[in-house]
Chains A and B, each alone.
Chain A
Amino acid sequence: MLEIKNLHARIAEDGTEIIRGLNLTVKAGEVAAIMGPNGSGKSTLSYVLAGRDDYEVTEGDILYNGESILEMDPAERAASGIFLAFQYPMEIPGVATMEFLKVAMNAQRKARGEEPLKIPELLKRVKEAAGSLNMDIAMLKRPLNVGFSGGEKKRAEILQMKLLEPQLCVLDETDSGLDIDALKIVADGVNALRSPDRAIVVITHYQRLLEYIVPDSVHVLYRGQVIKSGDKSLALELEANGYAGVIDEAA
């Protein structure tokens, strides 16, 4: 589903190269964890996948369902089924969460040539999804992410992910700032989305999240490259020994 080939990307403004020849393949149905120390390029990778224009791809390619997405803008990528759950979701003052969900869902439907959702159907879907995440419906009337606690923001991200039904989900440090209860709810939400035709990329610093979202593969990112790949035991190894061993091994 996702094939990243020898990807090089730099910060557009100052030309600093962050991703330096990254290779990664994630199949449909797979949950891949990307781990790595701070500054290894984890968040940059998520931004480059989503098409943020502060980064320039200078070499290599990103294939999604076999086709390059480099020429697509973030909205086009999203409409084609790529979803990024943000580490720091943005506040959108004055735009009720419910309204935002409606606009986003219908924008994607429009891009696929589908009719906008009827309000009762929309409400039904939103209520169902919010209920499964233990979210208070009253919260949906509040402006998106404005005054939300860290846990509420992350839950709102997962809610959007559920409703937009992406094919490729990228979760950027979704565990950061979550207490254990919130973490379980979020992880349950993600697990519910596991399916044979969907790929999930979980970017995390700690192994903790992977106890709840058990990955099929684990990849260690360091200095903009995947330096080691393995199964879920690799995460445990990293937890026990830190990144130093893996880094030394690669060097």
Chain B
Amino acid sequence: MPAVQETIEQVRKIDVDQYKYGFETIIEMDKAPKGLSEETIRFISAKKNEPEWMLEWRLGAFRRWLTLEEPTWARVDYPKIDFQDIHYYAAPKNQSGPRSLDEVDPELLKVYEKLGIPLKEQEILAGVQKQPDGELDEANDNVYKSGRVAVDAVFDSVSVVTTFKKELAAAGVIFCSISEAIREHPDLVKKYLGSVVPTTDNFYATLNSAVFTDGSFVYVPKGVRCPMELSTYFRINEKNTGQFERTLIIAEEGAYVSYLEGCTAPQRDENQLHAAVVELIALDDAEIKYSTVQNWYPGDAQGKGGIYNFVTKRGDCRGDRSKISWTQVETGSAITWKYPSCILRGDDSRGEFYSIAVSNGYQQVDSGTKMIHLGKNTSSRIISKGIAAGFSQNTYRGQVSAHRKATNARNFTNCDSLLIGDQCGAHTVPYIEAKNSSAQFEHEATTSKISDDQKFYVMQRGIPEEEAIALIVNGFVKEVIQELPMEFAVEAQKLIGISLEGSVG
């Protein structure tokens, strides 16, 4: 048997090498050819210098994916995606970007201005390509150095990043890209990757498992309270992680970490389809707080273009007394299909989901959560605020279930929807299932409209119409905003105001 195994390994290695060479010219182009096949996956894996096991993992996911059908149960409507018409890998530089801010959509710049983003940062967010100044940084995938300096500017100078890296290292926290983690911390990745969202999970998660290009990895060792909020803002090599992001966060016993994903500024993005996977693992007495602000391109005023966002986010409260909390502010994307969930496996574990989903124009949001109660005395709390304006459709879809062993499981759910105007729709689809008679589940839902009375009252105090709407809406979402880290909260409030501009009149 060992001999046979060896042979197989040998053949595989040769295979991989051949593909490497076979793609030589393509490597120069820094882009994989369109389409999805085992070759594409081998290409991505080779490009990232991944170990054998990782490639196998990807290929396994790909074979599984071939047997899956795209789900259609969500209340979203979009033209069928041709998965063979997509580039699954593009190197971090993109020559097709605008050359200066003058070439960037003025609407986008207006938003940056309103958010008070400095010029330098605007350039980066808008994907402005600096003219090559002849100085290539070969150590870093041939990215132009001038570009990297600009990135540093965003993150408040190199020294801040360095200090912060030192501080994390001293605490024993690992915070790096998932690609780096696969190379540097294979045991941790092997142990936890796919343990919450298996490669067989669902159509998009399986696709992600096959083709993910990058993402974040966080490991907080036993008893450590991560000394700072971790943010994708701070990770220099975060730029262009692409459309299939993979994030893995592990909090060992008694550890605590707060992670911020995203950015309040809308980002220029070439990729229409996004299918990310986020896995969180909390062991005994650990706590993970995960906050997201998503503000991708929602499409133009007629509903053309815009990002399709099909995300699988799941947290596993694997240990007793562990806690996972999701907070999300979703204002972007043409289509959002997203259900950050908690598996409450450990006894006395707790899951929380706080969500604000704003839709305007022709956006379609189908989002919510799942709280799966497996352990004893587990509790969960869901606060969802949906705001629909324009011609948008905004659906809350949530599942709360108690396993028959989940004695004393408790859930409180509150879903409120707010309508602005009369062309939009808000929908609430709760699934509640208790197989244990001691479970206590509470569900509250309301749908309201910003009344003309309210708007008139606020305007009568001298507050212009759009600010009046933003004020009322921010009051409506207050409960969730409070859950966001401080500096995010202020920006999120501004962002909600901006997202609703043009929703009245």
Q: Are B461 and A94 in contact (CB under 8 A)?
A: no
A187 to B16, CA, bound (A): 87
Q: How large is the interface on B (under 10, 10 to 19, 20 to 34, 35 or more residues)?
A: 20 to 34
Nearest CB of chain B from residue A88's CB, rounded to whole Å: 8
**Which A residues are CB-close (under 8 A) to B472?**
92, 95
**Which A residues are CB-close (under 8 A) to B467?**
103, 107
Q: Are A92 and B471 in contact (CB under 8 A)?
A: yes
Interface class of chain B by DSSP? helix
> Does B475 touch A at the CB level, under 8 Å?
yes
A93 to B475, CA, bound (A): 6
Q: How large is the interface on A (under 10, 10 to 19, 20 to 34, 35 or more residues)?
A: 20 to 34
> Does B171 touch A at the CB level, under 8 Å?
no
Most buried by B among A73, A74, A77, A160: A74
Beyond A54-B452, A74-B456, A86-B457, whether A94 also contacts B462 by CB under 8 A is no
Most buried by A among B453, B457, B464, B465: B457
A52 to B464, CA, bound (A): 13
Q: Indicate with 1 or 0, residue by residue over B468-492, a CB within 8 angstroms of chain A CB atoms.
A: 1001101111110000000000000
Q: Indicate with 1 or 0, residue by residue over B439-472, a CB within 8 angstroms of chain A CB atoms.
A: 0000000000001111011111111110110011
**Which B residues are CB-close (under 8 A) to A83?**
460
A54 to B464, CA, bound (A): 17
Q: Are A104 and B462 in contact (CB under 8 A)?
A: yes
**Which A residues are CB-close (under 8 A) to B461?**
78, 100, 104, 107-108, 160, 164
**Which B residues are CB-close (under 8 A) to A90?**
451, 453-454, 457-458
Beyond A73-B465, A79-B462, whether A103 also contacts B456 by CB under 8 A is no
Q: Are A111 and B453 in contact (CB under 8 A)?
A: no
A104 to B471, CA, bound (A): 10
Partner among B460, B465, B476 whose Cβ is within 8 Å of the Cβ of A93: B476
Q: Are A103 and B463 in contact (CB under 8 A)?
A: yes
A83 to B463, CA, bound (A): 12
Nearest CB of chain B from residue A47's CB, rounded to whole Å: 8
**Which B residues are CB-close (under 8 A) to A108?**
461-462
Partner among A53, A78, A95 whose Cβ is within 8 Å of the Cβ of B462: A78
> Does A143 touch B at the CB level, under 8 Å?
yes
Q: Indicate with 1 or 0, residue by residue over A66-97, a CB within 8 angstroms of chain B CB atoms.
A: 00000001110111000110100111111100
Q: Indicate with 1 or 0, residue by residue over A99-118, a CB within 8 angstroms of chain B CB atoms.
A: 01001100110010000000
Q: Are A75 and B459 in contact (CB under 8 A)?
A: yes
Nearest CB of chain B from residue A50's CB, rounded to whole Å: 5
Nearest CB of chain B from residue A100's CB, rounded to whole Å: 7
Q: Are A103 and B471 in contact (CB under 8 A)?
A: yes
Q: Are B454 and A78 in contact (CB under 8 A)?
A: no
Q: Are B454 and A92 in contact (CB under 8 A)?
A: yes
Q: Please, which residue of chain B has its CB at the minimum distance from the CB of A80? A: B462
Q: Are A164 and B474 in contact (CB under 8 A)?
A: no
**Which B residues are CB-close (under 8 A) to A52?**
456
Beyond A75-B464, A104-B462, whether A143 also contacts B454 by CB under 8 A is no
Q: What 6 pairs across the A-B complex have the smallest Cβ distances?
A: A94-B475, A94-B478, A78-B462, A95-B475, A104-B461, A108-B462
Give me the interface of A with B, judged by CB distance under 8 Å. 50, 52-54, 73-75, 77-79, 83-84, 86, 89-95, 100, 103-104, 107-108, 111, 143, 160, 164
New A-B pairs, 7, CB < 8 Å, besides A52-B456, A78-B463: A50-B460, A54-B452, A73-B464, A78-B462, A92-B475, A94-B474, A95-B472
10 A-B contacts (beta carbon < 8 Å): A50-B460, A53-B456, A75-B465, A75-B468, A78-B462, A84-B460, A93-B476, A94-B478, A100-B471, A103-B463
